[in-house]
Amino acid sequence: MEPFLYVFAVNDYPVPEQIRAMARKEKLVPLSLRTRIHESGETVESSLYLTKGFSLASQTGRRSLYEDRPIWDIPFKITYAGSKTERRASFITPKPTTNHVTVAALQEGPVAIVLYEADLKDSEQRVARLRLDIEPRDGGMCDEIVVAGRPYDHSAIEIQPGTVIGWRVAGTLVAVRLLRSRGLKSGQPDSVGYCLGPVAEGGLCLDCPLADESSTPVRHNDLNAGFAVACSTTAEHSSLAEFLKIFGDWPLIEKTEPAERDIRWQAGTTAMALQWSSAGNRIIERSINGQPVTFRLLYDSPSMHLAEGDIPDVARDP
């Protein structure tokens, strides 16, 4: 049951309502899972938080883009129960769809930090972008969208790093704070803006252009764009505006150096730290409340707690 939930929530499909219902019946939600996936000599670390209303999933690793659709599929995804449309997810869509991307994420339950970069080495593409696909082209999934405290009308707009945007799908609330992004070329500002608006081949998308690396050899990844995200519900907050106000007050410290990226975020009661070395193409530090994060098979739900070395013991109704 748990692997089935995991595959649906973290990969390319929404978790079907009948599967969510089974998870609720078996008292498996809320479910937290960290695991490491090995495939073809590459490793991707994944985190999943699943509730009866939504799931949040993120991944860390260097991975090939969609040519053969690797088993871990989408590097970041939120799925929703109760959407009025067939589409029930928001997710990162890697662009271009060739070569590789590097994703570094830190997730604890319904909050996460996500950093993203596309590798253009040996690619005919000159500029790549982070694309967060929020809702489908024909709309209707999000019941309301707010940008910088104001209702959003689906027009194309530019948004600067640090801006808070949010949306509601049925009873699920999502808040996103945009992190700094590197300039496209030398001589441009260190941080460039994001674009929010309808995209012809997609839907309502949040785009950020990433550095043009095709003119020089690519020696390391810079993780050029990203965001902090939190999910909640209308059972916990009276409105999207209330949730965004609380989210916006959570302090975030961001340091961006040529060879290093350092994010410190106090997400409610959770202190998160993510530090990345571009030169070494690796995570230097990843901690929750001062404790290092390790990725191993770990279930944590009302009926199951399984850590490394534990003997499985699943509680069942009498």
Give pLDDT tens digits for 65-91.
544 444 345 778 898 887 777 778 898
Examine the pLDDT at 254 and tell me if it is beyond 50.
yes
DSSP tag of 310: P
Lowest mean pLDDT among 55-59, 67-71, 174-178: 67-71
> What pLDDT digit, counting tens, does each position of 232-250 carry?
999 999 999 999 999 999 9
Residue 302 has pLDDT above 70, yes or no: no
Q: What span, in angstroms and rounded, lies between the C-alpha atoms of 83 and 87?
A: 7
Chain mean pLDDT for the chain: 76
Cβ neighbours of residue 293 closer than 8 Å, sequence gap 6 or more: 34, 106, 286, 287
Tokens of 306: 């399984």
Name the more confident of 102 and 160: 160
Predicted TM-score of the model (pTM): 0.82
pLDDT one-digit tens code per residue, 118-140: 666 666 666 667 788 999 877 78
Q: Residue 310 has what pLDDT? A: 54
Quickly state the pLDDT bin for 197 (edges 50, 70, 90).
Answer: very high
Torsion angle of alpha carbons 215, 219, 220, 225, nearest 10°? 0
Which of 31-45, 206-220, 229-243, 257-271 holds the top average pLDDT? 229-243
- SS3 for 5? helix
pLDDT at 54 over 80: yes
What per-residue string of b and e applies to 234-266 under the rule 16 or more CB within 10 Å gives b?
A: beebeebbebbeebbebebebebeeebbebbbe
Adjacent-strand bridge partners of 42: 39
**Residue 90: which H helix or E strand, with range?**
strand 89-92
| Residue reference for tokens 């060879």 | 259
Q: What sign does the dihedral 230-238-171-150 (CA atoms) show?
A: negative
| Predicted local distance difference test score (pLDDT) of residue 265 | 98
Question: Which residues does 244 contact at the CB level (< 8 Å), separation at least 6?
Answer: 146, 149, 164, 166, 175
